[in-house]
Amino acid sequence: MKSFYYLLITGIISITICLSFTIANNGNRTQVKITETFSLFKLEASYSRDQTKKVEAFINQTLKPVTVFKNADELDTRVTLGDSSNFYIRASAGWLLVKVDKDTNSAVSLLRLKNLCGQLSKNVIK
């Protein structure tokens, strides 16, 4: 009977260690998904929480003089730039969603926002 409890406790401890290791390492996975339909361009990215400030700084630098990210931990807003480009952005630590409506943006605006998302996915989010 003692050996049964010993095996049970050892099994529970082993499972707990494995699960905690798996959960801890899931935060280091990077995934970027770009989707384009007839009327919408969308970037969805998940990345290490450590990269959040780098991603926010890149977006702010690229879209100057507009500052998208101020001192908030989370963001959920529609942004309109000086050239009338507009897009929806939602972000939290380690996660970003950008949606660009093709019907409300000019070809030049759409290209600018696509380039921003492309640079994010290739050079910033790693």
Residue closest to 86 by CA, chosen among 72, 70, 66: 66
**For 104, which DSSP code?**
G
Cα-based distances in Å from 109 to 2, 56, 103, 106, 117: 71, 20, 11, 5, 13
Name the 3-class secondary structure at 27. coil
Average pLDDT over residues 103-116: 93
Cα-based distances in Å from 105 to 6, 43, 95, 100, 108: 65, 16, 24, 8, 8
At 39, the pLDDT band (50, 70, 90 cuts) reads very high
What's the pLDDT score for residue 94? 93
Q: How much is the mean pLDDT over the chain?
A: 85
Per-residue tokens: 112: 């600018």
The pLDDT > 90 percentage for the chain reads 60
What is the pTM (predicted TM-score) of this model? Answer: 0.75
- Label residue 82 exposed, middle or buried (CB < 10 Å: 0-12, 13-18, 19+): exposed
| 27 pLDDT more than 70 | no
What's the pLDDT score for residue 15? 65
What is the CATH number that goes with domain 28-124?
A: 3.30.160
